Amino acid sequence: MEFRKLGRSGLKISEIAYGNWLTHGSQVEEDAARACVRAALDEGITTFDTADAYAGTRAEDVLGRALKGQRREGLEIFTKVYWPTGPGVNDRGLSRKHIMESAHGSLRRLGTDYVDLYQAHRFDYETPLEETLRAFDDLVRQGKVLYVGVSEWRAEEIERALRIADEMGFDRIVSSQPQYSMLWRVIEGEVVPLCEREGIGQIVWSPIAQGVLTGKYEPGRPLPEGSRATDDKGGADMIKRYLNDDLLARVQELRPIADDLGLSMAQLAIAWTLQNPNVSSAIVGATRPEQVADNVKAAGVKLDADVLKRIDAILDPVVIRDPGKTVSPDRRP
């Protein structure tokens, strides 16, 4: 495993992080989830990402039990707050009330006294940003949170938060967690340049585009049984944007590139995200331990300029680059 600094902070995290969105407490049974976490640990992954809302809070419970007994100082545990965790009007968003209550719930479920990184899971237009940042800063000062980050925020929202933090003496954001892959590059135009200037690192999710970049979805062929595209618990909704024959045919053209490099298609896709110097880590999920072992081999892989140009030539017509695709709900869900 290779390690990188998280932005300009002093924290080092594994290039490959293990995430449990859409898996723990939902797609896979707990025994399988624990086996995947053990595989991640065996492969040298130290960074684990989750969120309070995943599987209705069950994902944090499962991850906490799976990591029980591990040396806490040797792990980086990340979680998030924003999406609903209960039926009440305040069981969502980034108000001080919800942040404080959600943070304590996450610590209890994860079985830890602190999280290494606490992230605002979306931007909350109903809460003054000063209120949100003060609540985060109070958690930092209480020792319950070590670093603060955001997920799926636009460049102008990150910039506002940085300005307020500087004016009010709060700890600054050190990370951004966006969707990023060969096919989804909406952060490259605005978020990445800002974050490079401000010392913020990207922890990217969906580096294999919900599994599309593994090449298992073929144009004109039925969807593989048991795949993300047939999952009725949320996975199918996320992947459907990619399931058109032109895009899938172009993905198949990447196979000779992966073969020439001795990489699986998934490894090529993950390694591609890690070529961006602003990326600190790529999050992978898994339903089977062997998927973890395969994905981890992307760590440390260097792709030369010619390979990157070949990939761009194949995919450019289907790449999504519009920064406006990064959105948060106008109102709390």
Report whether 115 contacts 145 (CB < 8 A).
Answer: yes
Which are the contacts of 317, defined by CB distance < 8 A and separation ≥ 6?
246, 250
Q: Which two tokens stand for residue 137?
A: 């800063």
For the question of residue 180 being annotated catalytic, the response is no
Pick from 203, 149, 213: nearest CA to 180: 203
Task: Tell me the C-alpha distance between 278 and 60, whole Å.
Answer: 28
Pick from 320, 321, 303: nearest CA to 191: 321
Rg of the chain over CA atoms, in angstroms? 19
254-262: Cβ within 8 A, 24+ apart = 254/182, 254/213, 254/215, 254/311, 254/314, 254/315, 255/215, 257/307, 257/310, 257/311, 261/301, 261/303, 261/307
Report whether 66 contacts 23 (CB < 8 A).
Answer: no
Which residue is catalytic, options 18, 54, 82, 118? 54
Active site residues: 54
